[in-house]
């Protein structure tokens, strides 16, 4: 194995089989935590006498980040084996991880005043929670958000429409009474955001009877509206964990016991529980056209469904 390949295996995150790689991950985590701790302590005036030490610690940790970044660029052809050397390195640089790594380094040298860029160091620590490619919690979160992106986009659109409407309502009602508070529609948006999200900062609020009445309605609508994306994400998590549990069960199956059955008149309309009790079939999946349905006991079979099942002995 070449030196380049060995370095690639070491700096890859989450490789439990490689002891050196795990030690490297721990070292990077400690480096990140130390870097963030220094950034935190630099804000205390009482510790101003230690500022020189803090600066040196920050420089040293940043140099470590630089070395890691260069090594990742150098070994990018192993990360993207189907690309050429130059294209693989470019692909890593413009990837999410590459951009975050770059923004971790740049502030210390060029953008020291940009606190937002410096805080991107925190994002790096999440790369180290990839336990494995299949059951990783962050992978599940990403998958749920991707699968529910259309529903989430629709719910966010509803929230934005409601936010815009509430801000214009409140501006028209309160502007004449509070011209300094509700100066423009954006002031109404600020009030609408804090009300819809049930934050209620209290720095801007209606004083007219009509304004208070509208605020009550918006507050009630906000509770229900904000709950929509929460429910979508929660349902997505339940579906994903059900898939994982089914996938885990597949590993224990003997392929000889697995059958595919086309639902005919005999099985049409029967529930999964009835199929299990009367036909001796444990149904794992239902293929319905272009859909893959995860069966529940109350799920009813339809004509021309294809069920993937185990024969119970």
Who contacts 183 (Cβ-Cβ below 8 Å, separation ≥6)?
175
**Candidates 1.20.120.350, 3.40.50.2300, 1.10.287.180, 1.10.760.10; CATH matching 3-130:** 1.20.120.350
CA 241 vs CA 73, 136, 143, 178, 291: distances in Å: 35, 11, 11, 51, 18
Element (H, E) at 210: helix 209-251
Chain segment 158-177, per-residue pLDDT in tens: 888 888 888 888 888 888 88
Chain segment 240-263, per-residue pLDDT in tens: 776 666 555 555 555 556 788 888
Tell me how far apart the terminal alpha carbons of the chain are, to the nearest angstrom.
50
Asked if 91 and 76 touch (Cβ cutoff 8 Å), the reply is yes
CA–CA–CA angle 140, 143, 147 (5° rounding): 140
Least confident of 3-17, 22-36, 280-294: 3-17
Who contacts 185 (Cβ-Cβ below 8 Å, separation ≥6)?
167, 168, 171
Structure tokens belonging to residue 43 = 């804000």
Q: What is the pTM of this model?
A: 0.51
Domain range annotation of the chain: 3-130, 149-237, 254-311
* pLDDT beyond 50 at 134: no
* pLDDT beyond 70 at 17: no
Cα gap 140→138, rounded to integer Å: 5
Element (H, E) at 285: strand 281-288
Q: Which long-range contacts (CB under 8 A, 24 or more apart) does 305-308 make?
A: 305/262, 305/263, 306/260, 306/261, 306/262, 306/263, 307/260, 307/261, 307/263, 307/267, 307/275, 307/281, 307/283, 308/258, 308/259, 308/260, 308/283, 308/284
Chain segment 66-91, per-residue pLDDT in tens: 898 899 899 888 888 888 888 988 99
Q: For the domain made up of 254-311, give the CATH fold.
A: Alpha-Beta Plaits (3.30.70)
Q: For the domain made up of 149-237, give the CATH fold.
A: Helix Hairpins (1.10.287)
Chain segment 205-252, per-residue pLDDT in tens: 788 888 888 888 888 887 788 788 888 888 887 777 766 665 555 555
Chain segment 36-57, per-residue pLDDT in tens: 788 778 878 888 888 889 888 8
Cα gap 164→205, rounded to integer Å: 16
């Amino acid at each position: 194995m070449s030196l380049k390949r060995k370095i690639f295996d070491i700096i890859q995150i989450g490789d439990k089989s490689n002891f050196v790689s795990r030690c490297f991950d721990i070292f990077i985590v400690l480096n990140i935590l130390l870097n963030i701790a220094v950034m935190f302590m630099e804000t205390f005036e009482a510790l101003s006498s230690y500022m020189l030490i803090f600066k040196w610690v920050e420089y040293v940790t940043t140099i470590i980040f630089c070395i890691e970044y260069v090594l990742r660029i150098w070994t990018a052809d192993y990360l993207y084996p189907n690309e050429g050397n130059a294209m693989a390195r470019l692909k890593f640089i413009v990837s999410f991880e590459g951009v975050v790594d770059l923004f971790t380094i740049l502030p210390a040298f060029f953008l020291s005043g940009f606190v937002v860029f410096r805080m991107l160091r925190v994002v790096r620590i999440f790369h180290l929670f990839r336990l494995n490619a299949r059951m990783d919690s962050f992978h599940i979160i990403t998958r749920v958000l991707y699968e529910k992106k259309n529903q989430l986009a629709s719910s966010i659109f509803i929230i934005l429409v409601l936010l815009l409407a509430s801000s214009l309502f409140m501006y028209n009602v309160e502007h004449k009474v509070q011209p300094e508070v509700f100066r423009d529609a954006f002031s109404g948006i600020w009030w609408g955001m804090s009300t819809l999200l049930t934050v209620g900062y209290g720095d801007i609020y209606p004083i007219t009877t009509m304004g208070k009445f509208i605020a009550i309605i918006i507050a009630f609508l906000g509770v229900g509206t904000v709950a929509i994306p929460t429910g979508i994400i929660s349902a997505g998590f339940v579906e994903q964990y059900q898939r994982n549990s089914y996938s885990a069960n597949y590993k224990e199956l003997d392929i000889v016991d697995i059958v595919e059955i086309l639902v005919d008149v005999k099985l049409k309309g029967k529930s999964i529980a009835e199929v299990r009790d009367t036909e001796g079939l444990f149904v794992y999946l239902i293929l319905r056209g272009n859909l893959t349905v995860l069966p529940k006991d109350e799920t009813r079979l339809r004509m021309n469904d294809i069920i993937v099942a185990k024969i119970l002995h």
